[in-house]
């Protein structure tokens, strides 16, 4: 089955520990971007992970550069608060994506709803700290269609490297990973990448346990 093929590919392709030591002042990295194949191209998300304690989340934000049109600047600022090293934030653009993560997985991450995550698989992502770009996925001046970093109906997941200019070598990019899949098949792919699905126990949970988790569990 296609779903088994892709979950095996993902479980094998990833999964060096994602909790990284930053080589710069930045305390967040772009840890993954997703473009699903459910209605409306959901679940769409931009995922950030803290690689050091973050005393002020509101100093951080993201923006999407759509279709190679260059930077649109910071389109979403994280809400006030703090984060511990390893905390993961999943930014989603709509209720469908929000429900996908909230209803299918144990909450070892924080879901944030904002239209900045209304991305397609050819869109680049920028991470901002105090208004300055500190990390990038993709080329903001290039439409990702046909590029090595395209993640249409799939996702890109960080393997290593601190915040920096985009380097494809730091990511596992699986274009088409969700192509033609139903919701539970989407869940199985995320489980293979380290999410913990509900209800437990289940077959998708067993798939998730087969891979090394790429999302740090909240303490």
Q: Is residue 141 part of a domain?
A: yes
Residue 20 binned pLDDT confidence (cut-offs 50, 70, 90): very low
* 3-state class (DSSP) for residue 50: strand
Q: Is residue 202 part of a domain?
A: yes
Task: List the one residue out of 105, 4, 131 whose CA is nearest residue 47.
Answer: 105
pLDDT per residue as tens digits for the range 79-129:
999 999 999 999 999 999 999 999 999 888 999 999 999 999 999 999 999
Dihedral-angle region of residue 163 (phi above 0 means left; psi in -120 to 50 means alpha; beta otherwise): beta
| Residue bearing tokens 């060096």 | 16
Range of the domain at 26: 2-208
* 3-state class (DSSP) for residue 37: coil
Structural domains counted in the chain = 1
Q: Is residue 218 part of a domain?
A: no
Q: Is residue 103 part of a domain?
A: yes
Residue 199 binned pLDDT confidence (cut-offs 50, 70, 90): low
At 120 the pLDDT is 96
Domain holding 187: CATH number? Answer: 2.60.40.1260
pLDDT per residue as tens digits for the range 38-58:
999 999 999 999 999 999 999
pLDDT at 174 over 80: yes
Residue 200 binned pLDDT confidence (cut-offs 50, 70, 90): low
pLDDT at 21 over 60: no
Q: Is residue 215 part of a domain?
A: no
Q: Is residue 133 part of a domain?
A: yes
Q: Is residue 135 part of a domain?
A: yes
Q: Is residue 58 part of a domain?
A: yes
């Amino acid at each position: 089955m296609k779903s088994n093929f892709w979950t095996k590919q993902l479980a094998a392709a990833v999964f060096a520990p994602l909790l990284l030591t930053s080589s710069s002042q930045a305390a967040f990295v772009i840890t993954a971007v997703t473009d699903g194949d459910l209605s409306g191209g959901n679940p769409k998300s931009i995922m950030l992970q803290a690689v050091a304690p973050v005393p002020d989340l509101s100093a951080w934000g993201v923006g999407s550069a759509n279709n190679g049109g260059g930077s649109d600047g910071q389109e979403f600022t994280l809400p006030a608060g703090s984060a511990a090293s390893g905390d993961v934030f999943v930014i989603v653009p709509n209720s469908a994506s929000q429900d996908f993560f909230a209803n299918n997985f144990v909450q070892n991450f924080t879901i944030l709803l904002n239209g900045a995550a209304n991305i397609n698989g050819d869109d680049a992502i920028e991470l901002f700290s105090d208004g300055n770009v500190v990390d990038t996925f993709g080329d903001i001046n290039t439409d990702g269609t046909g590029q090595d970093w395209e993640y249409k109906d799939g996702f890109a997941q960080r393997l290593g490297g601190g915040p920096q200019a985009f380097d494809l070598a730091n990511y596992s990019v699986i274009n088409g990973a969700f192509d033609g899949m139903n919701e539970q098949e989407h869940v199985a792919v995320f489980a293979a990448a380290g999410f913990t699905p509900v209800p437990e126990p289940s077959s998708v949970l067993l798939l998730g346990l087969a891979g090394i988790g790429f999302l740090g569990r909240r303490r």
